[in-house]
Amino acid sequence: MSSTHQGRGQPAVVVVGAGIIGLTCALRLEDSIKNLSPQAKPLVLLVAKEWPTSIPGVPLGHSVDYASMWAGAHVRPIPATTPQLKREAKWLKQTVAELGRQVDAQPWLGITRTPGIEFLEAPDEGYRLQNHESFSQESGLPGFRILTPSELPKDVVLGFEYETYCINAPVYCRSLLRKFVLQGGKTVNRTLASEWEIFSLPFDVKFVINASGNGFGKDPKCFPIRGQTVVTDLEPAMKTVTRQLKDGSWSFIIPRFFHGGTIVGGTKELGDWRHEPDMATRNRLLKNGQTLVSHATGQSTLNGQADRRTLGVIADVVGRRPAREGGMRIELETRTVTSRPGEEREAHTIHAYGAGGRGYEIGWGVADEVMELAAPFLEGLRSGAKL
Ligand SMILES: Cc1cc2nc3c(=O)[nH]c(=O)nc-3n(C[C@H](O)[C@H](O)[C@H](O)COP(=O)(O)OP(=O)(O)OC[C@H]3O[C@@H](n4cnc5c(N)ncnc54)[C@H](O)[C@@H]3O)c2cc1C
């Protein structure tokens, strides 16, 4: 990681957080300054305490709070029935378009086009009213089709399929980080007490993007949603399959292409802070997941030949989704800060945290909205105005 002592006084724009939100914002920032003259161009700094390196089953650890390492991750649209879901649908559609461009141009990044199947035992009105038009309008994903009753497993009352994306989360984040560094971005490995601490670094910090996941734990609207899943040796799963059970729990299979095994999940436990995997939960996830295997591998039960391969456990996963009441905080905040003794200055932070369980499927749309808030500062750099 680079040293912070090199850049005294050098103009810099800083992203806090190397999760999926920080990485998408950092890359969009690099794009938006690439045509600036060398004199106007600021350094783009990424500051974080955890970085993408994990391989399930290998002793390279990450905390449960670094959500981006623990995600499945698939793109699974949710009918946009609330203001929060409508906002997220816009970001999702933008992200879907970007993932499509990336998978075509750079198939090694960690994204794979994958069929998605959903089974619901007790669908709410949003799902019951969803059709081809509303689904493609809200998500931009093709191929929506409601399954016929004969295609549904027992106890499932609604099912549908569509074309979507699966992302090998650690591989993708690593690819994005490599890209960021190759394009000239610098990294600082640091545990911060606050996003405002950045203004005491020895740079002329123009603005900060706070992509810290949970807003440094200071926002009363933030709360964790514990997710427990199992990385299994099921290969090859070709489809991502999700079942919403009557009791409100979930069962899903997400292929992690690029030799990442297959994720069998998962829990969504609001406000649950437990770090350790729970063995009763693991057994329940595997038992429910087993019933989805034939759908995920394409060895359908329809002809009576269920795929009965046993799921072998590679690793138990526990991660905390950084959720926030009402959805993400994407907002510019300006404060007067003391950057050094006797030196007060106006400091600008664009907050971008609280992605909950959707960071991968909304990340590029979020980054675009963050760039809209950053536009006046970037324009100031272009024109040489004092910020
Ligand atoms: C089990 C599970 C399954 C999931 N499945 C999906 C899925 O299928 N699809 C999907 O879209 N999403 C999924 N998610 C959600 C997704 O993982 C999150 O929405 C996303 O990772 C949030 O990214 P983030 O960048 O906001 O936060 P994080 O990934 O938590 O990153 C935060 C960054 O900020 C840094 N940071 C935090 N505090 C400090 C500090 N004090 N000082 C310095 N740096 C700091 C961290 O080191 C890290 O680099 C899942 C999550 C879990 C846990």
Residue extents of the structural domains in the chain: 10-56+171-220+325-383, 101-165+222-322
Which among 337, 290, 305 is positioned nearest to 193, based on CA atoms?
337
What does the pLDDT read at residue 61? 80
Q: If pLDDT is split at 50, 70 and 90, which confidence band does 308 have?
A: low
Q: For 332-384, how does the pLDDT look when each residue is reduced to its tens digit (9 = 90+)?
A: 999 999 877 888 889 999 999 999 999 999 999 999 999 999 999 999 888 87
**CA 46 – CA 324 distance, rounded (Å):** 23
pLDDT at 265: 94
| Ligand 1 pocket list (CB less than 6 A) | 16-22, 48-50, 65-68, 70-74, 191-192, 211-213, 216, 227, 229, 266, 319, 321-322, 353, 355-361
The Å distance, Cα 66 to ligand 1 centre, comes to: 5
The rounded Å distance from CA 18 to ligand 1 centre is 9
| Residue 375: alpha-carbon gap to chain centroid | 24
For residue 87, name the pLDDT band (cuts at 50, 70, 90): very high
Cβ distance 228 to 282 under 8 Å?
Answer: yes
Mean pLDDT over all residues of the chain? Answer: 93
| pLDDT band, residue 176 (cuts 50/70/90) | very high
Q: What is the pLDDT of residue 276?
A: 95
Residue of 91, 275, 360, 366 best suited for mutating to test ligand 1, as the one with most atoms within 8 Å of CB: 360
pLDDT at 143: 97
**Class for the domain spanning 10-56+171-220+325-383:** alpha beta
Would you state the pLDDT for residue 59?
A: 73
Number of Cβ within a 10 Å radius of residue 160: 21
What is the pLDDT, as a whole number, of residue 386?
60
The tokens for 323 are 């959720």
Nearest by Cα to 114 from 90, 132, 141: 141
Q: Which residue has the higher pLDDT, 236 or 23?
A: 23
CA of 20 to the centre of ligand 1 (A): 7
Closest CA relative to residue 357, chosen from 264, 226, 249:
226
Say whether pLDDT at 147 is over 90: yes
Nearest CA to ligand 1 atom 20: 359
Residue 65's nearest CA partner among 133, 6, 19, 105 is 19
Number of H helices, E strands in the chain: 8, 15
Say how many CA atoms lie within 13 Å of 356 toward its Cβ.
Answer: 19
Q: Which ligand 1 atom is at minimum distance from the Cα of 194?
A: 41
SS3 15: strand
Residue whose CA is at the smallest distance from ligand 1 atom 50: 71
Reported as a pLDDT band with limits 50, 70 and 90, residue 319 is: very high
10-56+171-220+325-383 and 101-165+222-322, same CATH topology: no
> Would the pLDDT of 29 be above 70?
yes
Q: What is the pLDDT of residue 300?
A: 57
Q: pLDDT tens, 90-109?
A: 999 999 999 999 999 999 99
Q: Which CATH architecture has domain 101-165+222-322?
A: 2-Layer Sandwich (3.30)
Residue 5: the pLDDT is 46
